[in-house]
C-alpha cells in the first residue's frame, strides 16, 4: 500500500495554511479523562492507602493487603540487575556512566552556589540546594522504558536529592491497564526486569508497583506508606499527564509532554536510508508522533520517500509508523537551507537533526529545539539511550521557552543577601524612597532605622567636630577632599563649589573638621540676600563629606551645626534641595526633620525644616 505522506513546498500558494494544519495538535485532555482524574486525585488525597489499593486492583488487576506489599525492596532491584544478560548489564552501566558524566558537568556549570561582595562589603549571591525527595514515574505494562528511568533518576542523584521514589505500574495480564476486561486478579503483576535493573543502576531509593493518576496522587499528597515528594518527573499516558497538571502547585513537575517529534534538516548529503530510519525512530512511538523532513533538494526528497516506501514493510511497528507519517508527518521542499532553519525555529521541535556536511554552519541559525543533533553520524536514537545529554525534552513547540530535563530541575535556588553597615547607607535611601512612593511606610522605616543605627553610632564627640571658614590657609587642603563614588551625581567637587561661591555674595564656604583634619565641605546660602526671591531662610547649597570619612556621623553633626548657625542668625527655616535619583539623601534629611515642599526647580526637589524653640 502506497504511503500517503504530506509533501509540501514553501513556494506553493497554500503552503502557510497547509503548514499550520500540519502543526495543529491540541494538548487539551478529553473531558471524561479530566473528570476521572480529578475524582481519583481527591479520593487518594482523602483515603490514602485504601484508595491506592482499590485503584491498583481495579486497573492493574493486582490485589494486595497493604501498600507495603507493593513496594519493591532494594535487594530485589539488585537481584534484577544481576539476573539480566551480561550484555544488558554492560549496556545499562555504560549508558548510566555517560549520562552521569554529562550531568556532573552540568552541575558544575549551572547548579552551584555562588556569591560576591560589592564595593560596600555587602554579600550577594545564590544558594543552590537539592530537593529533599523526588518522585519518578516510569511507564509499565506494554511500554517499558529503562532509558527514561536513567534520564530521570541520574540527574536527581547527581544533584544530591536525598530520596528518589520510583512508581511503576506492573499490571497483570488481562487487566484494564493491559487492555483486558479487568476480570484478571493477581498478587503481583508483570515486572519488567530491565526497568528494575535500571533502577538499581540509577540509585533509586524506594520503588512502588503503582501507576496511573493514583500513583501521581500518592506522590503529590503522600499516604501512610508512600512518602510525599517535592517534585514529580517522568512520562506517562493521558491520565498521568492530566494528574501531573492538576497536582502542580502541591508539587513541582517537569513538564506536560506531548507526542514525540523529530525534524530532520538535510542538505542531501546523508544516505536516504539513514534519514528514513531516523524519521521512523519517532514515528514508531505512537500514531500521534510527528516526523518532518526539511530539505532544499527535490531529488533528495524523492530518494527519502522511496527509502520510506521500501523500508516500512520491514519494520515490526510498521502500522504505527504508517499512521504517524500519514497523520502528522511531512516532507517539505524549501528554497534554501536558510529558509529551512527559519521554518525549524517556527516548529521548535523536540529532536532536531542537522543531517548536513557542515552542521556547524547551520547550528547558529537554530534557536528553538529540545536537542540538536549535529552531523550525519549523530542519529537521534543515540541521544535517546547513551550519548549523555538528557532525552526528556520539551515537545509541541514548548522548546521556544523550555529546556531539557537536567540537574537544575532537581535543585532550588535561594538568594543570599548580607548588607554591611556601609551598604545600608547606600541602599537604605533608595529603598525608602521607593517604599514611600508605593505607600508602604513600614518598608521605608525599616530601611531608615538602619540608617539611624549606622549613621550615628559610633558618632565622634561634638567637641571634636568644628567648622572653619575657607581662606587661603586651608583652601588647598579642602580641595584635596574626594566625593564618594556613589555621590558624584549629587555633589560637585570642592574646587567647583568654591568657584561658584566666589561669584555669589550670599554664598558662604566652610570647611568641616575633626580636630585639625579636614573631613568635609559645606556651602551655605543666606536666602535673605537673594536678589530675586529673598527669604528668611538659611539654605544648604552643598554638603560633602570626604569619601574617606563616610559613615561616621559627620553629615549629621554638620547639619546640627547648620541648625545652630541658623538660630544664631535669627532664622527659623533651613532649606535644601536634591535630585530625585537612586542613592539620593532624601531619607537622611527626612530623618533630621526635613519635609518636601512639593516644589521642583531645575529637577531639584525642595525640602524645608522649621526649627523649634530652644
Q: 190, 350, 380, 433: which one is catalytic?
A: 350
Diameter over CA atoms, the chain = 108
What are the cell numbers at 218?
A: 500518592
Determine the Cα–Cα distance for residues 238 and 503; give it in Å rounded to an integer.
82
Regarding beta strands 231-233 and 330-333, do their DSSP bridges make them parallel or antiparallel, or are they unpaired? unpaired
Give the position of cell 521557552: 401
The answer to whether residue 565 is catalytic is no
- Do 264 and 353 meet the contact criterion of CB atoms below 8 Å apart? yes
Q: Quote the CA–CA distance of 368 and 344 in Å, as a whole number.
A: 8
* Closest by Cα among 94, 65, 211 to 142: 211
Location of C-alpha cell 551625581: 489
Backbone angles phi, psi at 433, to 5 degrees: -65, -45
Spatial distance between the Cα atoms of 44 and 221, rounded to a whole number of angstroms: 8
State whether residue 483 is helix, strand or coil. coil
Beta strands in 419-566 (DSSP E): 465-469, 507-514, 517-526, 538-545
DSSP 542-564: EEEE-GGGTTSSHHHHHHHHHHH
* Pairing verdict, β 123-130 and 411-418: antiparallel
Distance in angstroms (rounded) separating the CA atoms of residues 252 and 250: 7
Residue 497: closest CA among 528, 469, 524, 461: 524
Q: Give whole-number Cα distances, 236 to 57, 243, 469, in Å.
A: 19, 10, 82
Please tell me the distance from the alpha carbon of residue 392 to that of residue 403, in angstroms, as a whole number: 9
**All three cell numbers of 545:** 563629606
Kindly state the helix (H) or strand (E) to which residue 108 belongs, with its residue range.
Answer: helix 86-110
Q: Which residues contact 155 (CB under 8 A, 6 or more apart)?
A: 99, 103, 106, 390, 405, 406, 407, 409, 410
Q: Is 350 a catalytic residue?
A: yes
On whether the CB atoms of residues 568 and 537 are closer than 8 A, the answer is: no
Do the Cβ atoms of 451 and 591 come closer than 8 Å?
A: yes
SS3 state of residue 509: strand
Q: How many CB atoms lie within 10 A of CB 397?
A: 19
Nearest residue to 235 (alpha-carbon basis) of 178, 291, 151, 162:
151
Contacts of 142 by beta carbon, 8 Å cutoff, 6+ apart: 178, 179
**Catalytic residue, candidates 103, 351, 368, 549:** 351
Q: Are strands 123-130 and 114-117 parallel, antiparallel or unpaired?
A: antiparallel
- Complete DSSP assignment for 47-104: HTHHHHHHHHHHHH-B--SSGGGGEEPHHHHHHHHHHS-HHHHHHHHHHHHHHHHHHH
Q: Give me the residues paired with residue 595 across strands.
A: 608
CB atoms within 10 A of CB 173: 12
Q: Which residues are catalytic?
A: 350-351
Amino acid at each position: 500500500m502506497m504511503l500517503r505522506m504530506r509533501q509540501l513546498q514553501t513556494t506553493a500558494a497554500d503552503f502557510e495554511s497547509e503548514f499550520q494544519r500540519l502543526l495543529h495538535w491540541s494538548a487539551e485532555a478529553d473531558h471524561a479523562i479530566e473528570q476521572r482524574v480529578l475524582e481519583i486525585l481527591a479520593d487518594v488525597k482523602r483515603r490514602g492507602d485504601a484508595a491506592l489499593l482499590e485503584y491498583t486492583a481495579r486497573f492493574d488487576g493486582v490485589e494486595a493487603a497493604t501498600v507495603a506489599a507493593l513496594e519493591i525492596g532494594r535487594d530485589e532491584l539488585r537481584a534484577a540487575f544481576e539476573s539480566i544478560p551480561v550484555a544488558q548489564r554492560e549496556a545499562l552501566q555504560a549508558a548510566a556512566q555517560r549520562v552521569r558524566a554529562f550531568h556532573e558537568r552540568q552541575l558544575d556549570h549551572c547548579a552551584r552556589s555562588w556569591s560576591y561582595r560589592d564595593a560596600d562589603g555587602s554579600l550577594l549571591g545564590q544558594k543552590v540546594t537539592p530537593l529533599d525527595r523526588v518522585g519518578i514515574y516510569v511507564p509499565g505494562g506494554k511500554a517499558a522504558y529503562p532509558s527514561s528511568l536513567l534520564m530521570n533518576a541520574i540527574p536527581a542523584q547527581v544533584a544530591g536529592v536525598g530520596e528518589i521514589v520510583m512508581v511503576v505500574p506492573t499490571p497483570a495480564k488481562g487487566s484494564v491497564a493491559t487492555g483486558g476486561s479487568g476480570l484478571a486478579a493477581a498478587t503481583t503483576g508483570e515486572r519488567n526486569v530491565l526497568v528494575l535493573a535500571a533502577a538499581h543502576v540509577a540509585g533509586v531509593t524506594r520503588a512502588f508497583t503503582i501507576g496511573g493518576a493514583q500513583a501521581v496522587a500518592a506522590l503529590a499528597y503522600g499516604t501512610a506508606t508512600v512518602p510525599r515528594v517535592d517534585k514529580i518527573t517522568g512520562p506517562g499516558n493521558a491520565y498521568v499527564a492530566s494528574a501531573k497538571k492538576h497536582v502542580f502547585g502541591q508539587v513541582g513537575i517537569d513538564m506536560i509532554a506531548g507526542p514525540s517529534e523529530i525534524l530532520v534538516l538535510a542538505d542531501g548529503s546523508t544516505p536516504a536510508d539513514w534519514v528514513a530510519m531516523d524519521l521512523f525512530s519517532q514515528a514508531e512511538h505512537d500514531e500521534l508522533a510527528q516526523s518532518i523532513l526539511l530539505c532544499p533538494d527535490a531529488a533528495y526528497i524523492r530518494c527519502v520517500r522511496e527509502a520510506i516506501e521500501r523500508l516500512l514493510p520491514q519494520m515490526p511497528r510498521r502500522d504505527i509508523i504508517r499512521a504517524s507519517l500519514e497523520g502528522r508527518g511531512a516532507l517539505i521542499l524549501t528554497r534554501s537551507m536558510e529558509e529551512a532553519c527559519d521554518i525549524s525555529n517556527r516548529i521548535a521541535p523536540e529532536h532536531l537533526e542537522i543531517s548536513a556536511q557542515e552542521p556547524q554552519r547551520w547550528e547558529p541559525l537554530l534557536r528553538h529545539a529540545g536537542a540538536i543533533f549535529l552531523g550525519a553520524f549523530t542519529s537521534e536514537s543515540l541521544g535517546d539511550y547513551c550519548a549523555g545529554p538528557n532525552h526528556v525534552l520539551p515537545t509541541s513547540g514548548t522548546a521556544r521557552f523550555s529546556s531539557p530535563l537536567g540537574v537544575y530541575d532537581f535543585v532550588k535556588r535561594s538568594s543570599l543577601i548580607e548588607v554591611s553597615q556601609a551598604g545600608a547607607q547606600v541602599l537604605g535611601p533608595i529603598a525608602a524612597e521607593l517604599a514611600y512612593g508605593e505607600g508602604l511606610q513600614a518598608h521605608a522605616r525599616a530601611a531608615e532605622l538602619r540608617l539611624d543605627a549606622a549613621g550615628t553610632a559610633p558618632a565622634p564627640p561634638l567637641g571634636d567636630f568644628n567648622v572653619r571658614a575657607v581662606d587661603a590657609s586651608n583652601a588647598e587642603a579642602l580641595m584635596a577632599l574626594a566625593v564618594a563614588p556613589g555621590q558624584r551625581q549629587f555633589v560637585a567637587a570642592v574646587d567647583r563649589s568654591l568657584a561658584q561661591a566666589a561669584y555669589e555674595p550670599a554664598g558662604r564656604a566652610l570647611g568641616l573638621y575633626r580636630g585639625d583634619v579636614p573631613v568635609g565641605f559645606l556651602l551655605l546660602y543666606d536666602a535673605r540676600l537673594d536678589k530675586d526671591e529673598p527669604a528668611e531662610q538659611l539654605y544648604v547649597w552643598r554638603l560633602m563629606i570626604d569619601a574617606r570619612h563616610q559613615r561616621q556621623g559627620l553629615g549629621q553633626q554638620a547639619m546640627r551645626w547648620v541648625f545652630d548657625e541658623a538660630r544664631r542668625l535669627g532664622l527659623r527655616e533651613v532649606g535644601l534641595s536634591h535630585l530625585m535619583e537612586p542613592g539620593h539623601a532624601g531619607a537622611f534629611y527626612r530623618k533630621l526633620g526635613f519635609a518636601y515642599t512639593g516644589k521642583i526647580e531645575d529637577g531639584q526637589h525642595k525640602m524645608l525644616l522649621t526649627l523649634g524653640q530652644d
